[in-house]
Amino acid sequence: MGQNLAKLNTETSLDSVSLWGITRKRLFRRKSAVMGMIILGMLILVALTAQWLAPYDPTKSMLDVPDYTGKIEKRLPPCVHAFGCPQSEPQHLMGLDGNIRDEFSRLLYGARISLVIGFATVSFSILIGTVLGALAGYFGGWVDNTIMRVMDVVLAFPSLLLAIAIVTVLGPGLINALIAIGIVSIPAYARVVRGSVLSVREMDYVSATRSLGGNTYEILFRRILPNALTPLIVQGTLGIASAILETAALSFLGLGAQHPTPEWGSMLGQERNQVFTAPHLVFYPGLAIMLTVLAFNLLGDGLRDALDPRLAHVS
Amino acid sequence: MVNYIIRRVLQSIPQLFLISLVLFLLMQAFGDPIASLGVRTPPKPADRERLRRQLGLDQPVYVQYVVWLAGNDWMKIDMDGDGVPETPGKRLGVLRGDFGNSLINKRPVSELVTERLPNTLLLMGVVEIVIIVFSLAFGVYSAIRQYSLFDNLFTGFSFIGYAMPIPLLALLLMYLFSINFKEWGLPYLPTVGMFDPQVGRTPGQIALHMILPVVSLSIISIAGYSRYVRSSMLEVLGLDYIRTARAKGLQKHIVVIRHALRNATLPFVTLIGLDIPFLLAGAVLTETIFAWPGTGRLFVTSISQSDFPVLMGILMMTGLAVVFFQLVTDIAYSFLDPRIRIA
Amino acid sequence: MKRNLYALLSLLVLASMVLAACGGGAETEPPAVSTEPAAPAATEPAATEPAAPVQSGIAVVTFVQQPTTLSPLYQTQWFSSITTQLWLKGLWSFDSDNNPVLEIAAELPTTENGGMSADGQTLTIKLRDDVLWSDGEPVTANDFVFTYEMFVSDKNVVSSTYPYADYVTSMEAPDDTTLVIHFNAPFAAWLTTLFNTGVLPEHVLRPVFEAEGTLDNAAWNTAPTVGVGPFVFTEWETDSHLIFEANPNWIRPAKLQQVFIRIADDAAQEVAILAGDTDIGTFLDWSQADAINSNGKAKFVTQPSGYDEGWFLNFDPETAHPAMQDVNVRKAIVLATDREKIVNDLLGGLTAVPATFWDSTPPYGNPDISPYPYDPTEAGSLLDAAGWVDSNGDGTRDKDGVELVLRYISNQRQLRKDVQAVVQQMWAQVGIGVELVNYGDDFFNSYADGGPIATGNYDIAEWSDVTSFPDPEQSSYWLCSQVVGPDNPDGGNWQGYCNPELDKLFDQQATETNPEARKELYYQIGQIMFDDVVWVGMWKDPDLWAVSNRLQGVKFSGASPFWNAHEWSISE
């Protein structure tokens, strides 16, 4: 029996190595996934180097910039030297915003915030969702019932509506918006994990571990959860995209990031009255959100195809 | 079978109670509805205290919940502030169909919600039809012409469309078709509202005012759903019986329409069907941007006024619809697949 | 399954199409008249055709918030209160300069005409005998008495009982055109508070009150089909629009045929203004002025409504910087600040610097006082004379080892931060140091919960504040008896300012029932506060409106913006 188990172990680990190998190969073969990774890579680079790339402080108006020589005017259209803006004027690639701040610098710093938003919310909900889903799936019975009924409550509402309600309770702010969006997406992960746990709970290698006296912790975290990883990764990558969109929606409604945080959604929301007089202030942050969401969607889509052999032959 | 239905119905009752309890507790943590009153300056302290008492907001949470649930016509309330309850309550409670009155304009919540519902259903119904038609058309076409120019272009478009933040899309459409087209002397679309007051509320006007919100709402969903249709079509087209049908010499479009389409759209339509209860909640952002008087805007307005009876009403309505549709789906499936009943 | 879903969907769409098209319920057919072009009669003064006034044209007004209710009893929000001027008049309203304009009252009560009793506690108001409700019933003094009763009845959950519960002892109607009001003491604010949101129709609402025991749920509150004003309510579809049609029974017939109020959010409002789809917009921002004026379809209009942005100074010797106790230092701070430049650079020169707290509450602002000029030299010599000199050469003045560094706080609003930054540079030139702090809105505003204002953790705090507009009353900010302390936690004077001379004037004005005499008292109050530098105005903070070029004759007012709606007309 012990030998069998050892054999089983090596087999599964071999399996997983080759699975990852195959996945990587499949992933790199897909043009869209590669494109997603390139955009994402650039975004991460921008986020990491924002303080060197940004010509100005994203939260300071030109009034506060010592020795600033340019024209101090709200919502100044972009001034790019390469496109014929006089050299005497300081360059503002994306113009100035309604508070006389450099829109380009704000956009660069915004990348940092958006990525943090995406990863933080999804980690938060994956963490809680995994624990809840695993407990529900593994123990079954009343534990399962209680957890899943609570999840049903969350699922009974459109997520944006519920997020709005939660963030109103917690008070407007970026962190609270993250928590709200995190909470409303927990059930999705809990379901994924619970499903995976249920599907392998009764499988031989799990029963074997159990009969050998492996403790619950070991069974759950070493034997069962790795199986849920694949769907979780896919769900998580796509979840980052929707988390970014939902945060932007909350910020647009004034419930997310607060002034002067350079968050794209709130930049868009603050200047939405100005779309007709200063379209650049709506267009650039909107485009930035779109690109980021696009990158995660492309990557998530690629990952799903690469990880799910059933779909592999399809497209 | 009957047993299963009864069991399923009984199960949904505690679920609804749980939903209402969670929501009610959530509402307690909301801002103070009294503090947001006041025409120009905040209400005077004496008025605040009086309003809190008269609206029953000074009661403990569990009393407020019981009143919300079962009404207060069986008890007396203190209206004149002498500490002695003297006026009989009038509320019937949710269990008897009374969702209470708005704290702000005192109108019954059910009336407020049912007033908006037709507008939201009209908008979302049209959106849903547009989504179904176009997702099927685009999805099927790009599946049949896999890797064609159209397929590649469309795949690109759908990824971009799916990543669009709705505010950006809506504002850009409005900018282009309402403002710029008017300036350029082209036929232009109206900006906001449901109709032009100079013309009046005609079906034509409503249709005209629906174009931009419908387009903004459906582009994103079409992008997502058509991808879904495309991949389920591809899956079906790869199956043996389709190959057999093709091999039998049936014409391609007959195969596609008669066999593949039917099997590929069933999961898609189920997916859409499960969305229906969520339609009741409207589209918060789009309704806000285009000033469309639907439930989504009612929700946002009520949030800003901490008008929690109205918020409870909207959320309970969607909750009820979701639970009901889940019930219907489960029962429908149990007819189709008897194994479910045992599980 | 699929077919059923399609059927269900199309059914829903059809049903809602029908419902939505019938909407509101009140409206049975689209207003056909509205499509007619403006008739020539509309441009003629209505007075020449009193017999059969011809109304034409629809004015579209955009509100960025939905009115909460229409009944004056339950109004909780500005947008509700401003609609009443269209359809529910009171005794008088206020024009652009805050002067009373008679509506249902026949004359303004004074001591001379016997309207105001010698002891100032009884008011006798003569009403016009020719005013009709929109359904043809006469408006009588009994309607006013009924309105008063409804405000003070504990059966109604009204939004405010001020001033009826605290100041009025009784009200009666000896005959149909005479209204007598008894006060418990001379009440200065009678002119600005009595029935300023209109009068209730007793013949409509008394039966409702008797049947239901309350007016809280009266249909009239949200569908007041009987009113008394140039227009009459016809339809309200929540979150979409309200319609008011011309009221032929009103004493000053309207020129317009309809006022259509659309509810839209502020981005939608700006689109509508720029596209020429709306005639009146409000709740605008300074930054929208350029776009609206340059677009050519509308113009940007400002109207004072009591609000001024200003500095509240900390006078508490325990918590404030010692220099704040010296009036010459306070004066120097103001002289060192170029407020004109701030208004021109940051607010586009669209407003002005107020000299006193009452400049935006006409007629109570003293016209003889003009704001302190920008004079850094004078500021320097004042500081020198007060003993604040830069003795250690660090660029900042000091005295007895204390540096002249003031704590200047505000909230997170960017405009205020910009002002702070500019002020910092201006003060540096005269050697005044500054510590800028910006709090979150909730914390900044929370007086009781250990916020900066409550704890005195500031020397200068900037925000926009208001009188009890159109009434000038706001004395609790400065009365000695209102100074907040352990024994007086509910006081209104957080700055710790106390000046017995000022107290006397404030007490006097509270019971001065003659508006002219009260104005003189406020001139004196303004002078004292100006000389003692108690409050420093940064800029007047008026209501901002946009009016389309096709809508003529619009005059706003801070107290009752739509007071002259009967004169509005459309010219294409």
**Minimal-distance CA residue of chain B relative to C11:** B125
pLDDT at A197 over 60: yes
pLDDT at C322 over 90: yes
pLDDT of residue C39: 37
C-facing residues of B in 222-261 (CB < 8 A) are none
Helix (H, G, I), strand (E, B) or coil at C544: strand
Q: Closest Cα of chain C to A53: distance in Å?
A: 24
Touching subunits of B (3+ CB pairs, under 8 Å) are A, C
**Minimal-distance CA residue of chain C relative to B274:** C5
Length reported for chain A: 315
pLDDT of residue C54: 67
Residues B182 and B309 in one domain: yes
Residues C336 and C447 in one domain: yes
Residues of A in contact with C274 (CB under 8 A): 276
Q: Tell me the mean pLDDT in the region B333-341.
A: 62
pLDDT at C196 over 70: yes
Q: What range does the domain containing C162 cover? A: 5-305+543-570
- Best to test chain B binding among A234, A275, A292, A311 (most B CBs inside 10 Å): A275
What percentage of chain B has pLDDT greater than the value 70?
87
Q: Kindly state the helix (H) or strand (E) to which residue A173 belongs, with its residue range.
A: none
- DSSP label at residue C403: E
In this complex, which of B45, B200, B297 lies closest to C239 when CB atoms are compared? B297
**Domain-terminating residue out of B64, B96, B128:** B96
Residues B115 and B158 in one domain: yes
Identify which has the larger pLDDT, A68 or C203: C203
Q: Tell me the mean pLDDT in the region A179-199.
A: 88
> A244 and A117 in contact (C-beta within 8 Å)?
yes
> A284 and A4 in contact (C-beta within 8 Å)?
no
Mean residue pLDDT across chain A: 80
Q: Tell me the mean pLDDT in the region C34-47.
A: 37
Residues C373 and C521 in one domain: yes
Touching subunits of A (3+ CB pairs, under 8 Å) are B, C
- Max avg pLDDT among B248-252, C236-240, C535-539: C535-539
Angle between helices A141-155 and A174-201 (to 10 degrees): 140
C-facing residues of A in 107-166 (CB < 8 A) are none
Q: What range does the domain containing B86 cover? A: 11-96
A219 CB neighbour count, 10 Å cutoff: 17
pLDDT of residue C127: 96
pLDDT of residue C28: 35
pLDDT at C18 over 70: no
Is C448 part of the contact surface with chain B (CB cutoff 8 Å)?
Answer: no
Mean residue pLDDT across chain B: 80
Q: Tell me the mean pLDDT in the region C218-232.
A: 93
**Minimal-distance CA residue of chain C relative to B328:** C1
Q: Tell me the mean pLDDT in the region C219-223.
A: 91
- Listed in sequence order, the residues at least 6 apart from A84 whose beta carbon sits closer than 8 Å to its beta carbon are none
Q: How far apart are the first and last CA of chain C?
A: 56
A-facing residues of C in 265-284 (CB < 8 A) are 266-267, 270-271, 274
DSSP of B110-156, one letter per residue? Answer: HHHHHHHHHHHHHHHHHHHHHHHHHHHHHHHHHHHTTTSHHHHHHHH
Residues C293 and C317 in one domain: no
Is C344 part of the contact surface with chain A (CB cutoff 8 Å)?
Answer: no
In a domain, B5, yes or no: no
In this complex, which of B165, B175, B319 lies closest to A275 when CB atoms are compared? B175
Q: How many domains does chain C have?
A: 2
The CA R_g of chain A, rounded to the nearest whole Å, is 24
pLDDT of residue B281: 66
Please report where in the chains the tokens 């509910």 appear, as a residue.
C490
Residues B73 and B121 in one domain: no
pLDDT of residue B35: 65
Q: Closest Cα of chain B to C114: distance in Å?
A: 33
In this complex, which of A153, A245, A293 lies closest to B22 when CB atoms are compared? A153
Per-residue pLDDT band for A10 (boundaries 50, 70, 90) equals very low
Identify which has the larger pLDDT, A179 or C453: A179
In a domain, B175, yes or no: yes
A116 CB neighbour count, 10 Å cutoff: 13
Asked which of B218-222, B269-273, C2-6, C241-245 is least confident by mean pLDDT, the reply is C2-6
Residues C106 and C207 in one domain: yes
Q: Is the pTM of this model over 0.80?
A: no
pLDDT of residue C131: 96
Is C82 part of the contact surface with chain B (CB cutoff 8 Å)?
Answer: no
Helix (H, G, I), strand (E, B) or coil at A7: helix
Structure tokens belonging to residue C355: 């000299």
pLDDT at B38 over 80: no
C-facing residues of B in 144-183 (CB < 8 A) are 171, 174, 178-179, 182
pLDDT of residue C291: 80
Inter-chain residue contact A315 with B146, CB threshold 8 Å: yes
Per-residue pLDDT band for B10 (boundaries 50, 70, 90) equals confident
Residues of C in contact with B105 (CB under 8 A): 68-69, 74, 221-222
Convert the pLDDT of each residue in B257-291 to its tens digit: 767 777 777 677 777 767 777 776 668 888 888 88
In this complex, which of C274, C285, C421 lies closest to A63 when CB atoms are compared? C421
Is A277 part of the contact surface with chain C (CB cutoff 8 Å)?
Answer: yes
In a domain, B253, yes or no: yes
DSSP of C198-240, one letter per residue? Answer: ----HHHHHHHHHHHS-STT-GGGT---S-BSSEEEEEEETTT
**Domains located in chain A, CATH noted:** 40-49+93-311 (1.10.3720.10)
Per-residue pLDDT band for A313 (boundaries 50, 70, 90) equals very low
Task: For chain A, give percent helix, strand, coil, nearest 5.
Answer: 75, 0, 25
Inter-chain residue contact B200 with C31, CB threshold 8 Å: yes
pLDDT at A26 over 80: no
Residues B125 and B76 in one domain: no
In this complex, which of B178, B192, B276 lies closest to C264 when CB atoms are compared? B192
pLDDT at A187 over 60: yes
Residue among C534, C561, C527 at smallest CA distance from C546: C561
- Best to test chain C binding among A57, A65, A271, A276 (most C CBs inside 10 Å): A276
Residues of B in contact with C160 (CB under 8 A): 43-44, 47
Residues B119 and B245 in one domain: yes
pLDDT of residue C35: 34
**Minimal-distance CA residue of chain C relative to B124:** C13
Inter-chain residue contact B193 with C265, CB threshold 8 Å: no
pLDDT at C45 over 50: no
Inter-chain residue contact C5 with B51, CB threshold 8 Å: no
Is B260 part of the contact surface with chain A (CB cutoff 8 Å)?
Answer: no
DSSP of C71-111, one letter per residue? Answer: -TTT--SHHHHHHHHHHB--SEEE-TTS-EEESSBSS---T
pLDDT at A312 over 50: no
In this complex, which of C31, C160, C258 lies closest to B47 when CB atoms are compared? C160
Inter-chain residue contact A169 with B26, CB threshold 8 Å: yes
Inter-chain residue contact A273 with C421, CB threshold 8 Å: no
Residues B180 and B38 in one domain: no
What percentage of chain C has pLDDT greater than the value 90?
60
Convert the pLDDT of each residue in C117-175 to its tens digit: 999 999 999 999 999 999 999 999 999 999 999 999 988 888 888 889 989 999 999 99
pLDDT of residue B41: 60
> How many Cβ contacts (< 8 angstroms) between chains A and B?
126
Residues C297 and C322 in one domain: no
pLDDT at C204 over 80: yes
Residues B256 and B211 in one domain: yes
Structure tokens belonging to residue A74: 């709200």
Q: Tell me the mean pLDDT in the region C76-94.
A: 91
Residues B260 and B135 in one domain: yes
In this complex, which of C21, C23, C271 lies closest to B178 when CB atoms are compared? C271
Residues of A in contact with B327 (CB under 8 A): none
Identify which has the larger pLDDT, B75 or C186: C186
Q: Closest Cα of chain A to C54: distance in Å?
A: 38
Residues B65 and B132 in one domain: no
Identify which has the larger pLDDT, B172 or C89: C89
pLDDT of residue C346: 82
Residue among A115, A41, A27, A25 at smallest CA distance from A304: A27
Convert the pLDDT of each residue in B40-64 to its tens digit: 566 666 777 788 887 778 888 888 8
- Best to test chain C binding among A63, A75, A275 (most C CBs inside 10 Å): A63
pLDDT at A75 over 60: yes
Q: Tell me the mean pLDDT in the region C1-12.
A: 45
Q: How many domains does chain B have?
A: 2
What strands, in cross-sheet order, belong to the sheet with C122-126?
C122-126, C178-183, C168-175
pLDDT of residue C449: 60
Inter-chain residue contact A277 with C290, CB threshold 8 Å: yes
> How many Cβ contacts (< 8 angstroms) between chains B and C?
200
B-facing residues of C in 196-225 (CB < 8 A) are 213, 216-217, 221-222
Residues B222 and B258 in one domain: yes
Q: Tell me the mean pLDDT in the region A202-217.
A: 71
**Domain-terminating residue out of B48, B63, B96:** B96
Find the CATH number of the domain harbouring B261.
1.10.3720.10
Give how far Cα A36 sits from Cα of A30, A33, A238, A312, B268, Å.
10, 5, 12, 18, 26
In a domain, B130, yes or no: yes
Inter-chain residue contact B159 with A294, CB threshold 8 Å: yes
Touching subunits of C (3+ CB pairs, under 8 Å) are A, B
Mean residue pLDDT across chain C: 86
Is C421 part of the contact surface with chain A (CB cutoff 8 Å)?
Answer: yes
Per-residue pLDDT band for C5 (boundaries 50, 70, 90) equals very low
C-facing residues of B in 321-340 (CB < 8 A) are 332
DSSP of C27-49, one letter per residue? Answer: --S--GGGGSPPPGGGGS-GGG-
Q: Tell me the mean pLDDT in the region C512-521.
A: 92
pLDDT of residue A174: 86
In a domain, B331, yes or no: yes
In this complex, which of A260, A272, A276 lies closest to C291 when CB atoms are compared? A276
Residues C432 and C530 in one domain: yes
- Torsion sign over Cα B325, B326, B328, B329: positive
- Max avg pLDDT among B90-104, B326-340, C96-110: C96-110
Is A259 part of the contact surface with chain C (CB cutoff 8 Å)?
Answer: yes
In a domain, B221, yes or no: yes
Find the CATH number of the domain harbouring C420.
3.10.105.10
Residues B186 and B232 in one domain: yes
Residues C190 and C251 in one domain: yes
pLDDT at C429 over 80: yes
Q: In this structure, are strands C405-410 and C402-403 parallel, antiparallel, or unpaired?
A: unpaired
Residues B58 and B206 in one domain: no
- Distance (Å, whole) CA A252 – CA B285: 9
Is A175 part of the contact surface with chain C (CB cutoff 8 Å)?
Answer: no
pLDDT at A111 over 80: yes
Residues C427 and C477 in one domain: yes
Q: Closest Cα of chain A to B235: distance in Å?
A: 6
In a domain, B343, yes or no: no
Q: Closest Cα of chain B to A62: distance in Å?
A: 27
Predicted interface score ipTM higher than 0.90: no
- Max avg pLDDT among B149-158, B308-317, C80-89: C80-89
Residues C494 and C368 in one domain: yes
**Domain-terminating residue out of B34, B62, B96:** B96
pLDDT of residue C327: 95
